[in-house]
Amino acid sequence: MARKNRTWMGAALVAVMAGLGSGCVAAAAAGAGAGGGIYFTSRGVGSQVNGSVDEVAARAQSVLASEGVAITDTKTEASGDKRVFQGKKNDLDVSVELERQGPTATKAEVSARKNLVEWDKDYAQKVMDRIVKGG
């Protein structure tokens, strides 16, 4: 009898886990419709953003300025197809990395580091949401 209960409990656990997984997929799909598919990375968030690198870079700089992030370093590589903006806001080191994916698409990643091992993904997502929405 105990064995049947364990088997049933195991099957129930698998069903619940499968349901949770599909819920995460649904949440990710909802986010994708809202802004081109914002996804989490190990340090922050990323997204495919509509617009050329020049357009997205202008939006990113505007968002960083309005958020009070003081840009401390900028890098441009591959004839402008890759750009990086780094800055400080209070105790956060904020970074926005852009890379051309096509004539009207740019891959963007935002991270906000608190210290060597801690990242503020909520703040990174806030910045990315504003970049995706255009300010």
- Tell whether 27 and 57 lie within a shared domain: no
The predicted pLDDT at position 115 comes to 92
Do 2 and 9 meet the contact criterion of CB atoms below 8 Å apart? Answer: no
Q: How far apart are CA 107 and CA 45, in angstroms?
A: 11
- Tell whether 25 and 56 lie within a shared domain: no
What average pLDDT score do residues 56-84 get? Answer: 96
The predicted pLDDT at position 56 comes to 96
- Tell whether 60 and 45 lie within a shared domain: yes
- Tell whether 91 and 30 lie within a shared domain: no
- Tell whether 42 and 73 lie within a shared domain: yes
- Tell whether 69 and 117 lie within a shared domain: yes
The total number of structural domains that make up the chain: 2
Taking 60 as the threshold, does the pLDDT of residue 3 lie above it?
no
How many residues are present in the chain?
135
pLDDT digit string, tens, across residues 8-19: 445 444 444 444
- Tell whether 31 and 48 lie within a shared domain: no
Residue 52: how many other CB atoms lie within 10 Å: 18
